[in-house]
Amino acid sequence: MRVVIGEDNTLLREGLVLLLTSVGHEVVAVAADGPEVLPALLAHRPDAAVLDVRMPPSFRDEGLRAALAARREIPGLPVLVLSQYVEETYAVELLADGVGGVGYLLKDRVGRVEEFLSALERVAAGGTALDPEVVSELLTRRRDDPLDALTPREREVLQLMAQGRDNATIARLLVVSDRAVSKHIGNIFAKLGLPASDSGHRRVLAVLAYLNGR
């Protein structure tokens, strides 16, 4: 996988380079501030980009803006953004085009190597990877509606769906059968009034759109 990294923190940036190259990926460019990100993405057109949300010069949302601009120029460009804090609006902006190939993780997730690499691979494959804390925030915000009709197990499945997990992974994490997961997902979509035929990242986007009240 060819990757562009945008991160102003030198230690984290070099750590990402070392981590990705150690597992066989190629880091084709690194950017230390916001203005460097978009030219690097357009020049290299990587298989995936890993970008800090807040970068110099203003430390607001330079990385996110560069990601959105790059996806306008290169539709579907896989982008995994990293943030220090849970900021739901950033996740929503990334998901707004409905294309997939996006992820939003808290920076401490990078230290959980297998989890981070799995999320990057899902994003590069056109899927979605949302930090569990972001999903929890969205679920907590939507407490006074049809979510109340979900069983505790269905809520667990919904959270994992919204993180971008596939059925097999959900089954493994919850120690249930694939058939049980499919049944839970069918019940969730029925109770939330969402199209049961959606699959892959479209399914995740539908769930997140509902949770965000869009």
Domains parsed from the chain with CATH numbers:
2-130 (3.40.50.2300), 135-211 (3.40.50.2300)
Lowest mean pLDDT among 3-12, 31-40, 100-109: 100-109
**How distant is the alpha carbon of residue 166 from its chain centre?**
14
User: 88 versus 130: which is more confidently predicted?
Assistant: 130
Q: What average pLDDT does the segment 34-57 reach?
A: 93
Q: Tens of pLDDT along 101-126?
A: 888 888 888 888 998 999 999 999 98
pLDDT at 31: 95
pTM: 0.73
Residue 162 to residue 175: CA distance in whole angstroms: 18
pLDDT at 118: 92
CB of 50 closer than 8 Å to CB of 83 = no
**DSSP SS3 for 105:** strand
Angle at 94 between CA 51 and CA 81, to 5 degrees: 20
pLDDT at 35: 92
Q: Using pLDDT thresholds of 50, 70 and 90, give the confidence band for residue 214.
A: very low
Listed in sequence order, the residues at least 6 apart from 34 whose beta carbon sits closer than 8 Å to its beta carbon are: 6, 55, 56, 57, 58, 62, 63, 65, 66
pLDDT at 83: 87
CA nearest neighbour of 52 among 95, 16, 98, 20: 16
Q: Tens of pLDDT along 52-82?
A: 988 998 888 888 888 889 988 998 899 998 9
Residue 58 CB burial class (10 angstroms; 0-12, 13-18, ≥19): exposed
CA nearest neighbour of 200 among 147, 130, 125: 125
Q: Tens of pLDDT along 161-186?
A: 877 788 999 999 999 999 999 899 88
Please state, rounded to an integer, the average pLDDT across all residues of the chain: 84
Q: For the CA atoms of 165, 15, 89, 144, what is the dihedral angle to 10 degrees?
A: 40
Please check the confidence at residue 97 and state whether its pLDDT lies above 50: yes
